[in-house]
Structure 1
């Protein structure tokens, strides 16, 4: 799960109808591949250790308005990675507020390796997640085949490594570093989001791409879709200090929690605007966090 902010190119690499596309001339079965077996074993181990939890409102875990404000600064106002000189590196630096101004139009493309049954299941999941994101943020999010601006690509490892031409077609001007980040994903990067802001930062994001591995078993697949679509909305960072949250690389939660939905409400609060500096956001957060926490 990876998010990157590209300073020089202003690009962040942080899932109605689908558009099946033949991304490989030699389809393979993702679940039967060596990588598919690895992820199935990994999911089983994570679940046995109490991870990939599906409870969105975990019992006994409390957080205050102050916690929400602090966690928002960690998740929404920092970048996990940087894109410099065509490569990816650890980031963590403060960054301006990022979110959508235009409605989010999700378009889904499947690699040839993804069979029809899996496509239907993935579309149902993406549709449910889109509804959850729209409800939480108050911002329009929907699946469409008409001029999508947030492209969800569900592909096998072999298909992903050859995505360069398609990425440049979907997002003209996408940076070389962003393309390299996608095509060079190692197996420990489960999924990825790439967001490209408008030249005018006050206009928010212009395009985004989410990459979901076709090899993933059900719980990891759902986790990738939920996290990457939410990160593509502007909750770009992960932090080990933020809990209960999917934005934490310990994989404890496999779905967006109520805590995460409240962060999304805060991100799209009318008092905040795309392009705001961290110090500007921080001054407004206590009142916003109290308001959001009071709504529950």
Structure 2
């Protein structure tokens, strides 16, 4: 039997002030900075020690919406589908909706705040006690022995996050992190991985991190030493082709940006 590992991620309440940005508006586009950010966000996890190995989906993602104590909400589903389509556009990884009766490998659970703890215990599995009220929304994913993500759950208490203006942030951060970027970091900026930055939507840096993660050259289970030369090659290539310089503009052309801004 294959050993399975659960990784827990969550969007935490943030009362701290906005962190200072890098010294210049474009400093995140530095190749060394991007590589350091990728290692920080992709190989670490804020809730548990990891073996510093790359994790990602290999099988197509098939998602389904589940409601706990709530009626179906087409508006919120549309927001989520729009973001998932953007994730597919960036990564080129298959992400499709499956109807009731088919087994999903990604469940997106919408619930009320009063059922949030129950939903965490049911869907997020282990290490869930600390997540309930200190977090706005939560997610987890499950790995096989090859460090492939094989299953994931996202839980969003709709009334709670809407009352705080956090619905887009919860949809974007949790579904993006279960792609295989599970760690939050106070210094990675600009990025949804930085909770203190209060960014709701994907940034140019997030765009590049996702494209790196789903490059065919990066395989689940690779460690930092194996990843380094591949990252350097890709990033120098993308710098030359102006992909990095144009990432901030490109990421705003799809997803929730046209709906919100």
What is the TM-score when the length of structure 1 is the normalising length?
0.69
- Compared CA separation, residues 265 and 187, structure 1 to 2 (3 A): same
1:122 aligned to 2:76? yes
**Unaligned runs of at least 5 residues, structure 2:** 247-261
CA RMSD of aligned residues (A): 2.7
1:253 aligned to 2:217? no
1:216 aligned to 2:161? yes
1:136 aligned to 2:90? yes
Q: Contact 1:219 / 1:254 at 8 angstroms: preserved in 2?
A: no
1:189 aligned to 2:135? yes
1:13 aligned to 2:8? yes
1:103 aligned to 2:103? no
SS state of the match for residue 211, structure 2?
helix
Per the TM alignment, residue 142 of structure 1 is displaced from its structure 2 partner at its CA by: 2.2
Query: Residue by residue, what CA displacement relative to the aligned partner does 1:14-71 show, whole Å, maximum 9, x if unpaired?
Result: 2xxxxxxxxxxxxxxxxxxxxxxxx9xx89x99xx889xxxxxxx9444222221111
Q: Contact 1:110 / 1:154 at 8 angstroms: preserved in 2?
A: yes
Q: Contact 1:50 / 1:252 at 8 angstroms: preserved in 2?
A: yes
Q: Contact 1:73 / 1:282 at 8 angstroms: preserved in 2?
A: no
**1:158 corresponds to:** 114
**Unaligned runs of at least 5 residues, structure 1:** 1-7, 15-38, 52-58, 83-90, 168-177
Per the TM alignment, residue 192 of structure 1 is displaced from its structure 2 partner at its CA by: 1.5
SS state of the match for residue 163, structure 1?
helix
Per the TM alignment, residue 267 of structure 1 is displaced from its structure 2 partner at its CA by: 0.2
SS state of the match for residue 62, structure 2?
strand
SS state of the match for residue 127, structure 2?
helix
What is the TM-score when the length of structure 2 is the normalising length?
0.78
In 2, distance between residues paired with 1:166 and 1:246?
26
